[in-house]
Homo-oligomer: A and B are copies of this chain.
Amino acid sequence: MDIKEIEGFLKFNKIKPSHHRLKIYEYLVKSKNHPTADLLYRELVNEIPTLSKTTVYNTLNLFVEKGAAQLITIDESENRYDADMSIHGHFKCKDCGKVFDFPLNFAAIDMGGLQNFQVEENHIYLKGLCNECQAHKKK
């Protein structure tokens, strides 16, 4: 996904593609690491020295509003963001803190129980130990 595609995608979502917005969206798409606003700021401020944290917050809120990114509340004190709007689950390692994607058959979940609720968003969060951290523990 190159910068032209990202520009097109933002426009498609009625977001005016300013330089900052392009860079922030590009980071989300390419890193796939579900960053917090603070991490995004720290990662981009070298490349964009004039960047302010408020712009990062404004931009992420705009992306969520316009449906170009989703807010991930897997953490208890910080919000994370994801440009991948497809239905998928998130796994957070309690040791290293990384958040991983995993595929999800959503049809298997959305059954019976919820009586007449009109579902607009789904968030599947698992927590435990990732592959790598399990290996460390064994030693």
Residues of A within 8 A of B (CB): 71, 73-76, 79, 89, 91, 93-94, 100, 102-105, 108-131, 134
B residues within 8 A CB of A93?
A: 117
Residue of B nearest to A119 (CB): B128
Q: Which residue of B71, B126, B131 contacts A122 across the interface (Cβ within 8 Å)?
A: B126
B residues within 8 A CB of A124?
A: 109, 122-125
Sample (24) of A-B pairs whose CB atoms are under 8 Å apart: A73-B73, A73-B75, A74-B123, A76-B79, A89-B109, A89-B114, A93-B117, A100-B114, A100-B117, A104-B113, A105-B109, A109-B109, A115-B131, A116-B134, A117-B126, A117-B130, A118-B128, A118-B134, A119-B128, A120-B127, A121-B128, A122-B125, A123-B127, A124-B125
